[in-house]
Amino acid sequence: MDEIEALVARIDVAPDVDALCLAIADLAGRMIAERRDVLGYWEKQSFAQALASLAWNVGGGHRDSTAWLRLSLVALQTVLVPVDRRSEGYAPRIAAIEALTAEQLLDDVRALGGRA
């Protein structure tokens, strides 16, 4: 079982929301750092979605909900889709996402309490 699946299983078994949020933020930080030099649009959009979903859970008044945690993990799983299985041209690219840097994403990880 990979780390993402293990976190999904934790949600299903014993949802300690605070611990899960930190674990997801830490995982996102590691994943971003590992791909720092090869972040394409697909990865940037997926990481941004994962962090935004996590932020909604943490700061959006949804602390006891696990739906945003699940969405965050789905977005992290999307990062791992092989290039030949992606449909990157399905929508116009957004300049703000294209401009994101690994450091900006890692700043968001740290803002959510994760290690980056």
* Whole-prediction pTM: 0.91
Residue pair 58/21 in contact by the 8 Å Cβ criterion: yes
Distance CA 114, CA 11 (A): 18
Q: What is the pLDDT of residue 63?
A: 59
Taking all residues of the chain, what is their mean pLDDT, rounded to a whole number? Answer: 90
Residue pair 47/32 in contact by the 8 Å Cβ criterion: yes
Residue pair 22/113 in contact by the 8 Å Cβ criterion: yes
Q: Measured at the alpha carbon of residue 74, what is the angle toward residues 70 and 79, in degrees to the nearest 5?
A: 150
Distance CA 44, CA 23 (A): 20
Instruction: Convert the pLDDT of each residue in 1-17 to its tens digit.
Output: 599 999 999 988 876 88
